[in-house]
Amino acid sequence: MARINFQNRGGLVAGAGGGMGLAIANGLIEGGADIVLADIKPEPDGIAAGPGRALYLQGDLSDEDFVRDVVAQTQAHAGRFDYLVNTVGVWWGETDLSVVDIERQVWDRVFDINLGSMMLAARHAVPLMQANGGGAIVLISSIQALRGDPRAQDAYGVSKGAIRTLSKSLAVQFAGDNIRCNALLPGYVRTPMTHRFDDNSARSEAVRKLIPLTRFGEVADIAGPSLFLLSDAASFITGSELIVDGGTTALP
C-alpha cells in the first residue's frame, strides 16, 4: 500500500503566509519535500525546520510576472516540480455583497485574487509538471461553491465555484500527463481570514450549531486531507472534490 512520503519531491504552496497554506507547506517540508512558500504577506513565524528545504517569497500571486518568477524559483529550488497547492483567497464580508449591490471594482478584485491566482499558478506550473513526468495539484475552494447564502457574499461564492470547475477541467486536460488535480472544500475553519469565529459571540455560537461535529475546523483539519490528495496514496484520485466541513453540507 502506498504511503505518504514526500522525500525527493518539490513544489509550490501559494498562499502560505499563514493559516491553511502554512500548515500544508509544513506538512510537505516535514515529509521531506523542498517547498517554495509564497504569499503577499511577510514571511511568517513557524515554517518547519525540515527535513525538506523551505524558501519564502513575498509578492502578489494575482500578478503574472511574480507568479512566473515564483514558479521558476520553485524549479530551481527543488530541481523538479511535483506539487502545486493554491490556498490564495480573500473574503471581504463588509463589501462583498449581492450582485445588485456590490461595487464592480470589489467584484473584479476578488476574482483577480481568488480565481486569477489559481489560473496563473496552474498556467506556469503545469508545463514543468509535464516535463517532470507528472504531479499533483490541490486547489482550495469552499463549501460556498455548493450553495447560496442568505447573507450574500456573491463574489466570494462564485469565485469559489469557479475554482471547483477549474480543478475538474485541469484534471481532465492533463490526466494523460500523469497530473492529478483535486479541489478541497473547507467549511467553517478558524484561520486569520475567519477571525470572526474566534470569540464566544452569539454569532459564533449560531454558526457552530450549523456544524454537526459541534466545533470549528482547524488548519490541521485541512492540511491532513490536502497532504493525502498530494500523496501517492491518492494516485487514482483526480477530478474529485473533498468536502471538509464537519458535516455542515450533510444537513438538510
Q: Which residue has the cell 511568517?
A: 44
Distance of CA 109 to the CA centre of its chain: 18
Secondary-structure percent of the chain, ordered helix, strand, coil, rounded to 5 = 45, 15, 40
- Residue 38 bridge partners (DSSP): 14, 57
Regarding beta strands 54-58 and 10-14, do their DSSP bridges make them parallel or antiparallel, or are they unpaired?
unpaired
Measured CA distances, 88 to 7, 21, 93, 137 (Å): 25, 8, 16, 14
Query: Which is catalytic among the residues 56, 83, 156, 188?
Result: 156
Count the Cβ atoms, other than its own, within 10 Å of residue 221. 20
In 93-217, where does DSSP find H-type helix?
104-111, 117-132, 154-174, 202-208
Residue ranges of E strands in 15-87: 34-39, 54-58, 83-86
Distance of CA 58 to the CA centre of its chain: 17
Contact (Cβ atoms closer than 8 angstroms) between residue 180 and residue 136: yes
- Is 156 among the catalytic positions? yes
Q: In what order do the strands lie in the sheet with 34-39?
A: 54-58, 34-39, 10-14, 83-86, 135-140, 179-186, 241-244
Count the Cβ atoms, other than its own, within 10 Å of residue 165. 13
Q: Report the catalytic residues.
A: 156
